[in-house]
């Protein structure tokens, strides 16, 4: 199951890279914006994979596997915020670059989906801050549901 999940992650990253390459770019600024967004996507994918790790812990029947995954997840969670902050900053830089280069195209589907994705990201970050302040079951569930919603919005933004 882990091999399938990692394969799906690799396939997703390759699909986005190939799609970006297929789309091409008009200028070096757009190329820079795309590269920054792709790096941010990989960082967010790492953070999203923490949910899969927790799911494996819950679903596993073998105690040794649970203990190993729990130790791994404990180490990974220390870096959750440290990964999310640079990823969010890369997304903001991506947005600034794309808006400055394509100011006249702000009402096209790609830009609108990007703005909507940025709004979802803002709510996701806010929910993470609330969760860090006081972690409750509702806040945890809301945060990871927003993470999946953000992931869907990213896909819509990439492939529009």
pLDDT at 80: 92
pLDDT at 40: 96
pLDDT at 87: 96
- The boundaries of the domain holding residue 112 are 2-159
Residue of 47, 70, 75, 45 lying closest to 57 (CA atoms): 70
pLDDT at 59: 86
pLDDT at 115: 93
User: Both tokens of residue 133?
Assistant: 């302040």
N residues, the chain: 160
Could you say which DSSP state residue 103 is in? G
Determine the distance from the C-alpha atom of residue 16 to the mean position of all C-alpha atoms in its chain, rounded to a whole number: 13
pLDDT at 57: 87
pLDDT at 125: 95
| d(C-alpha 45, C-alpha 22), whole Å | 22
CA torsion, ordered 117, 122, 125, 130, to nearest 10 deg: -130
Residue 61 φ/ψ, nearest 5 degrees: -100, -20
User: Both tokens of residue 23?
Assistant: 């789309």
**What average pLDDT does the structure give for the chain?**
90
| d(C-alpha 140, C-alpha 125), whole Å | 12
- The number of folded domains in the chain is 1
pLDDT at 103: 79
Top-confidence residue, 22 or 37: 37
Mean per-residue pLDDT for 153-158? 94
In tens, the pLDDT along 48-102 reads 888 888 888 888 888 998 898 889 888 888 899 999 999 999 999 999 999 998 8
């Amino acid at each position: 199951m882990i091999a399938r999940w990692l394969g799906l992650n690799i396939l997703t990253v390759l699909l986005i890279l190939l799609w970006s390459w297929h789309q091409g770019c008009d200028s070096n600024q757009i190329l820079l914006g795309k590269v920054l967004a792709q790096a941010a996507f990989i960082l967010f994918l790492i953070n999203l994979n923490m949910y899969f790790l927790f799911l494996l812990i819950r679903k596993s029947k073998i105690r040794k596997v649970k203990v190993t995954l729990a130790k791994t997840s404990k180490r990974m969670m220390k870096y959750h915020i440290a990964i999310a902050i640079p990823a969010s900053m890369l997304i903001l830089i991506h947005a600034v670059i794309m808006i400055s280069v394509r100011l006249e195209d702000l009402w096209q589907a790609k830009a609108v989906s990007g703005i909507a994705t940025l709004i979802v990201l803002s709510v996701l970050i806010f929910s993470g801050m609330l969760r860090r302040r006081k972690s409750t079951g509702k806040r945890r569930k809301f945060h990871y549901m927003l993470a999946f919603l953000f992931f869907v919005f990213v896909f819509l933004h990439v492939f529009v």
